[in-house]
Amino acid sequence: MKHSGNTILITGGGSGIGQALAQRWHDAGNHVIVTGRRRQALDAAIAGRERMSAYVLDVTTASEVEAFARQVVAEHPQLNVLVNNAGVYSAEKIVTRRDLAQAEQMIETNILGPIRMTNALIDHLAAQADAAIVNVSSGLAFVPYPAAPTYSATKAAIHSYTAAIRPLHAGKVEVIEIVPPQVQTELTPGQSNDPNSMPLDAFADEVMALLHAPDTPAEVCVERVRYFREAEAKGQFDEALRMLAQYS
């Protein structure tokens, strides 16, 4: 992935991992477009920063995604990088019958959102130089968290989707996966102050260092997530799953 001179669109860029990465890409000399559902958060993310733009967008609405794609390409024809970062999380107890509204929202946001965004912009991206699609998954894609089975499944799906489309776009659009560990954000209440979560700035700095390596890796895994990413290959999957189950 080219380090600077890109026009980068990042969904869920108004807070958390999305905001941290967006601002670092901007600092590196890129024009950055952030989207999200909350105008106030988006405005705060771009405040005082030239070459940053913000659009309100709900990736769970198919017609809104299509309309937005037409608008952003018209207003930013140099757009060459799509970062599918928007995501939602809900803990679940699935041992008894329950309302599935939160599970359906996670599937709509975490899986269909990136698929819709990619579909809406792929023709444009394929025609750009140095084009890239960056999908944000999770360490839980590789070892699921029993307290959040649907969320874990959505991230496993994004990992699989990203791996599947990578060879299809070889030579035209670079396809990259960022695999976060648990990071100090407000994905869940109080997580931003959790000492067991990776500090957000440290995570964003390590991601940028990996992305700016001479050869950008297909999977951007910070050291803190490697235990989960490599658990199955190293015969540690059951051990890792038992560890996560203790917190369920």
Which token pair is 7? Answer: 């026009």
CA 14/CA 4 separation, integer angstroms: 21
The reply to whether 55 belongs to the active site is no
Long-range Cβ contact pairs of 60-65 (< 8 A, separation 24 or more): 60/105, 60/108, 60/109, 60/112, 60/113, 62/112, 62/116, 65/113, 65/116, 65/117, 65/120
CA 240/CA 16 separation, integer angstroms: 26
Placement of tokens 């990071």 in the chain = 183
Q: Which of 145, 151, 161, 227 is catalytic?
A: 151
H/E stretch holding 26: helix 16-27
| Residues involved in catalysis | 151
